């Protein structure tokens, strides 16, 4: 499983959006075409100042997503053989699962570290 290093005061906004997209893809077969259209519209809206508000994690995720879509297009056009396309699909599924677990581990690690330092909460309040 992929492990992400956690830093101080992590911005969870980017990871939240990544989990939203990954969860959406897991459930896409159960959604109506209108739900899919609305979700994609929401995902593709850029924040007001993307250069300053999008995290590096989000940028890397969307670059990977775009690359996957491009690879899929080539597979559909038979520019990539079916065995290679299947290998890429399996790899991307494993990677998506690992990404979800890593984000959850990071979140739980942050919660755990906050619970181990009760004085940190008091200093913020004061």
Q: What are phi and psi for residue 39, nearest 5 degrees?
A: -65, -45
pLDDT tens track for 8-45: 456 677 788 888 898 999 899 999 999 999 999 998 88
Per DSSP, the residues of 12-36 read -HHHHHHHHHHHHHHTGGGS-HHHH
pLDDT tens track for 81-113: 999 999 998 998 898 888 888 888 887 877 777
Is the pLDDT at 62 greater than 80? The verdict is yes
Q: What are phi and psi for residue 24, nearest 5 degrees?
A: -60, -45
- In 3D, which of 66, 88, 64 has the Cα closest to residue 80? 88
User: H or E stretch including 126?
Assistant: none
Assigned token pair, 80: 């990539």
Rg of the chain over Cα atoms, rounded to whole angstroms, equals 18
Is the pLDDT at 120 greater than 60? The verdict is no
Q: Would you tell me how many other CB atoms lie within 10 Å of the CB of residue 58?
A: 20
């Amino acid at each position: 499983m992929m492990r992400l290093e956690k830093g101080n005061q992590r911005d969870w906004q980017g990871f939240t959006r990544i989990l939203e997209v990954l969860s959406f893809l897991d459930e896409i077969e159960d959604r109506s075409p209108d739900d899919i259209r609305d979700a994609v519209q929401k995902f593709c809206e850029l924040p007001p100042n993307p250069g300053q508000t999008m995290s590096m994690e989000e940028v890397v995720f969307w670059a990977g997503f775009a690359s996957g879509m491009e690879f899929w297009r080539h597979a559909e056009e038979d520019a990539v053989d079916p065995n290679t396309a299947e290998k890429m699909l399996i790899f991307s599924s494993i990677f998506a699962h690992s990404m979800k677990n890593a984000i959850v581990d990071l979140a739980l690690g942050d919660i755990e570290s906050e619970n181990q330092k009760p004085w940190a909460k008091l200093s913020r309040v004061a």
